[in-house]
Structures are given as structure tokens and as C-alpha cells.
Amino acid sequence: MGYIGTALDLVISNTNRKRGRRIVLRTPSVLSVIFTSTLVFTAPAWAQDPDSTVTIDPVLVRVLRSSVGTGTPHSVSVVTGSELTRGTAGAFLEDALRAMPGVQIHNRFNLAMGERLSVRGFGSRAQFGVRGVRVLVDGIPATLPDGQATLDHLDLAGLGRIEALRGPSSSLYGNAAGGVLHFRSLDPATEPALLSFRSTSGSHGLLTLQGVVSGQSGNTGYRVGVSRLSYDGFRRDPIADDGSIYAGGKRSVVNASLTLPAGAGRLRIVANGVLLDAKNPGSLSQSLLDEGNRQAYRFNVISRTNKDVKQGQAGATWTGPLGGGEAEISSWVIKRELDNPIPGKVVDLDRKAGGMRALFQDQTEISSGRFGIGAGFELELQSDERFNWKNSKGERGNLLLEQLERVRGTGLFMQGRLDLDAGPSLLAGLRYDRLRFSATDRFISAENPDDSGERVMDALSPSAGLLINAGTDVEVFASVAGSFETPTTTEIVNRPSGAGGFNPDLEPQKGFTLEGGIRGGLGDQGTFEFALFQTNSRANSFHLKYQQIPGLRTTRMRGGRFIEDGKLH
């Protein structure tokens, strides 16, 4: 059995709207103070010329390499500027994405689990992190080769724009069925040096501190941001009798970027690091909620469930002319250490990952219009050293699993675009992905045989789109696309028997989406976009088992029916 879904997207943006009052349950009350200081140094005389001409670039959708309203047969949205931070604490992901249509955020106010993010329903079954959606941060993938992404390192207060491509993106970005989210930090300040500081305090012990230094020197721009979040939460400890809280946590993030000339193009270097220490109060049953219980789950407290993360990431992207066309070449590395006591076991994970992506584009004038083509490749590597121990009241008990897991992903893709003078525009793409999962079992004994093995998953993902100008500032579009989504390493190692190695029954999800819509402008009052789509997904077999421990039941589920509104049946 597979997934099938039909849904509707409606987006209306009013540039002159009045903002209403937002009432949010369990959202911390916020008091925010912002200080900004500009350090003025000697600058060239032209920088102070009041008659200088400034050219404003068009709004570019970088995930599609095209401009909004100039021929995009896909559902896309861009949020920039004050919409990202106005009236928010800047502490949670939902603060930045609340204005993004088609993107749902479930904020559990649990730093250990993170916020559940889904695009058109894809990603809604993730227990933690983001899956089913390709995530980029400043052009560098936050999504690992196995399709899992974590956004602990995201500098929410420093975001300058967010782009969302809703719908299948496998022909562009591979292992993603729901779409693409691209988070981009603010550009460096135009002054030689700009210092800013922001502090936010709120209920339940919420406190954020954020500082940024940014500027330009000649053709080189830089930006360094540091942030600190502490949050106590509101889930009381059901065991302690002193009214103490078992929730919340602390998160420290540093982000840095450097943009400078390199050859005939530009080089952007980014680096970030995060330290996270958060308790996991768990979820409650419906019966406890009906009783008005808002305490932490008792067994989580007994197990001392929490999440301790240390992560660093660095990457570089070069863009510039090459061979008469334009090239974009990126590379990145990630190092992540995780200590994660959960009910039943303690997980220790040491992860190393990296990759590179190259894209070459060119276009030419033809007798009937203009033709452009792009082609490239992607190579990604992931290596996880995983240890599982029995959870003995938060301490490590008997060793349950020790194995080395590797993922190697390769992708080849190309995309062509034809803009006809008569009006219509055609877009077509094709991508081939191959992912190899391998496991080396290091916990072998007479009772635990060698469970080493490997799985190979591949797919060919096509896409095609048509866009027609239907009048002044009005476009009609239609598209068809295939999607490809593999299980993550966390899912594929979850065997019903509890043994090591990989689950042999778990298969990738392959889908097919039909979409049509209309978008346009409302003069100086705003824009609108209306889209209708249907997604069919097959060969989606997932088999989950939770260990038999007090308070948790064993659950097995194969296949299912998925309606693209975020509900799982």
C-alpha cells in the first residue's frame, strides 16, 4: 500500500496589510531589546555621494536559479526582511516560518526533539529533526545523504531570507519528496563594521542573547554572529516534590561567513558550530492530557532522557563564469557528536559527513526564443559510529549495539529550459540517484552473530513543467515530477528483532506528483498564488518497532495512507 494525496495551496500576500493580534497558547511572553552600533572609519568619497545610483536586483529564487514571476512552473515562496523576525522571540523555527505557505511547523517547545517540519505533509512522521525535505543553509546542505536534517545550528535572528520550493524536488536535489527549504543569512553590512546586539526574555525562563559584527572591506564582506538560548520550559517533574521542572535546555550557536573575489567569480565561505544540552520531558497520553496533566512523562524522568550535541560544519561555494556559461561549485564537511539517553537505551553517535556539488549552466538565443541548459553532479559521504547501551536510570548499562554505518550517495542531473517568443516556457529535468548503505557490526559474540551488510537504493527522477503568460502579471503553470526518498539511517537500523545491521524490508519511497496553478499580482496591493496538486507514492514500506518498556507499546506499521494535510492514517 502506498501514499496518495490531493490538496490545495492558496497564497495571498498583501503588501499593505495591517497586522492583527496573534494569540498563541503556551508561547512565551516576550520582551525584546535591540541595540545597534555603527563604527565609522575612513571611507572612500564615492561611498558618501548622495547622487550615487543604486540598482536593485530582481528577487532570485536560488533553489530554481530563476526569478519570481519570470517563468517558474513550480510553487515557490520567498520571505525576506522584517517578516522573519517582526514581533517574535527569534528562539524557535516557527518564528521564521510562520508566514511561509504550505509549510507546517509543530513546535513542541522541546529543544531535545526540535520542531516537526513538513511541506505538504511530507516530513510529518519524523520523530525528530527534518526528513522528506531538502534543507540548505547559505547554499550548504543541512540534509545528510540519508535524507535526515537537523537545524540546531540555524541562526534564527540572523536570517535574511527563506525560500521554499513546494513539491517534489528529486530532479533538482535528489533525496527529497516534499520540497526544498533554503535559509540564507543576512548579507554583510555595507559599512566597514557594524555591531548589533539583541536580547529577548520571556515566560518559562526564556532568554536569548544575540550579537553580530558585520561589514565590508573593499570587495570582501564578513559576518560573525553568536547567539545563546536558555529555556526552562513548563513541564514539572512528577517525581520530585519541590515543584522543579524537567524540561528546557541551553543552546549556543556561532555562525560566520566570508565573501571575497576568487578568479573571475566570488567565493563564499561559511562555518558554524552548536552546543546543545536539553532535557526531553516526553509526550503524554490522551487520557493524561484530558485530566489536565502537563507534567513530564514519568518514565522519561526515570530514564533521565536528554540530548547533548556538539556539532561543527564548514563549507565553501564558488560562483562565476566558466567556458562561456556560469558555474557553481560547493563543498562541505560536518562533524557531530551526540549523547542521547532515551527510554530503553542510551545512544552515542559520532558522525562525520561531507560532500560536493557542481553545476554548469549556459543559454543561447535561438530563432524562436531562448534555450538554457544546466547539468551537474553531486557526491555525498556519511560515516556514523553508533553505540547503544541499555538505559539504567540515565546511566549506560549493558552494551546492546556497536556498529559503523556508512552512506555514499551519488547523483547526476540535468535541466533544460525553453522560453518561446510566442509566450510559453517549457522546463524539463532528469536526475539519477544511487545511495549505498553499509553496516559493519562490531558487537559480535555467540549470542550476537555478525549482522554486517549493505543496501543499495537508486532511482531515476524526471520532471517537466509548462508556464503560460495569461495576461498582465498573471501566469498559469502546470508540472509533473517524480520523487525519491530513502529511509534514514536511524530508521533503517531499527530492526524488528532488535539486532544490528539494516532492516531488509525497508524500501525507499518513490512518488509521482501532478500540479497546476495560477499566480499573479494585485497591483501595489500584493500577489497571489493558487495551486492544486495530487501526489501518489508507492513502494513505501516502513516497519517500526519500539522496545517493550514500561509505558511504551510495541508498534508495527507497514504502508499506510497519507493525505497531504499532515495527517497520517
Is position 45 within any domain? no
Residue with C-alpha cell 524522568?
A: 301
Least trusted range by pLDDT, from 22-26, 41-45, 206-210: 22-26
* Averaged pLDDT, 166-178: 78
Q: What pLDDT shows up at residue 60?
A: 53
What nine digits make up the cell of 92? 524557535
pLDDT tens per residue, range 300-323: 999 999 999 999 999 999 999 998
Is position 221 within any domain? yes
Q: What pLDDT shows up at residue 498?
A: 65
Report how far apart, in Å, the C-alpha atoms of 204 and of each of 29, 207, 433 are.
9, 9, 46
Residue 495 pLDDT more than 50?
yes
Strand 30-39, strand 60-61: pairing: unpaired
Is position 28 within any domain? no
Query: Could you tell me which residues are beta bridge partners of residue 480?
Result: 464, 514
Is position 27 within any domain? no
What nine digits make up the cell of 475? 501566469
Report field, pTM of the whole predicted structure over 0.75 = yes
Query: Range of 194's domain?
Result: 3-15+60-568
At 431, the amino acid letter reads R
- The SS3 call for residue 286 is helix
* Averaged pLDDT, 195-214: 92
Three-state SS sequence of 232-287: CCCCECCCCCCCCECCCEEEEEEEEEEEEEECCEEEEEEEEEEEEEEECCCCCCHH
Query: Could you tell me which residues are beta bridge partners of residue 274?
Result: 253, 311
Residue 46 pLDDT more than 80?
no
Q: What pLDDT shows up at residue 431?
A: 93
Residue 567 pLDDT more than 80?
no
Number of domains making up the chain: 1
Least trusted range by pLDDT, from 41-45, 151-155, 398-402: 41-45
Report how far apart, in Å, the C-alpha atoms of 478 and of each of 10, 424, 463 are.
15, 11, 11
Q: Is the dihedral of CA 137, 143, 149, 152 positive or negative?
A: negative
Nearby residues of 239 by Cβ (< 8 Å), 6 or more positions away: 298, 301, 302
* Averaged pLDDT, 187-201: 91
- The SS3 call for residue 521 is strand
Q: What pLDDT shows up at residue 30?
A: 44
Least trusted range by pLDDT, from 4-18, 169-183, 396-410: 4-18
Is position 425 within any domain? yes
pLDDT tens per residue, range 245-281: 999 999 999 999 999 999 999 999 999 999 999 999 9
pLDDT tens per residue, range 474-488: 999 999 999 888 888
Q: What percent of the chain has pLDDT over 90?
A: 46
Is position 412 within any domain? yes
Question: What's the CA angle centered on 379, arms 376 and 383, to 5 degrees?
Answer: 165
Instruction: Report the alpha-carbon distance of residue 74 to residue 120 in Å, rounded.
Output: 14
Is position 25 within any domain? no
Under a CB-based contact definition with an 8 Å cutoff, are residues 111 and 251 in contact? yes
- Backbone Cα Rg of the chain: 24
Q: How many CA atoms lie within 13 A of 152 on its CB side?
A: 29
* Averaged pLDDT, 166-195: 85
Residue with C-alpha cell 553568536?
A: 226
What nine digits make up the cell of 431? 536526475
CATH number at residue 197: 2.40.170.20
Q: What pLDDT shows up at residue 217?
A: 93
- The SS3 call for residue 97 is helix
Residue 541 pLDDT more than 70?
no
Is position 533 within any domain? yes
